[in-house]
A = this chain, B = another copy of it.
Amino acid sequence: MKMRSDYTCPLEMTHDIIRGKWKPLILWQLSKGECSPSALKKSIQGISQKMLIQHLNELLDCGVIEKTSHEGYPLKTSYFLTERGKKIFEAVSIMQSVGIEMMLEDNREDFLKDKGLL
Q: Residues of A with Cβ closer than 8 Å to B? A: 7-15, 18-19, 24-25, 28, 45-46, 84, 87-88, 90-92, 94-103, 105, 112, 115, 117
In the bound assembly, the distance between CA atoms of A12 and B12 in angstroms comes to: 19
Asked whether A95 lies within 8 Å of B102 as measured between CB atoms, the reply is no
Asked whether A8 lies within 8 Å of B103 as measured between CB atoms, the reply is no
**Contacts of A14 on B, CB cut-off 8 Å?**
95-96, 98-99, 102
Asked whether A13 lies within 8 Å of B103 as measured between CB atoms, the reply is yes
In the bound assembly, the distance between CA atoms of A46 and B12 in angstroms comes to: 12
Asked whether A91 lies within 8 Å of B95 as measured between CB atoms, the reply is yes
19 pairs of residues in contact across A and B, judged by CB atoms under 8 Å: A8-B45, A8-B46, A9-B99, A10-B96, A10-B112, A10-B117, A11-B25, A11-B96, A12-B25, A13-B99, A13-B102, A13-B103, A14-B96, A84-B102, A87-B98, A90-B94, A91-B94, A91-B95, A91-B98
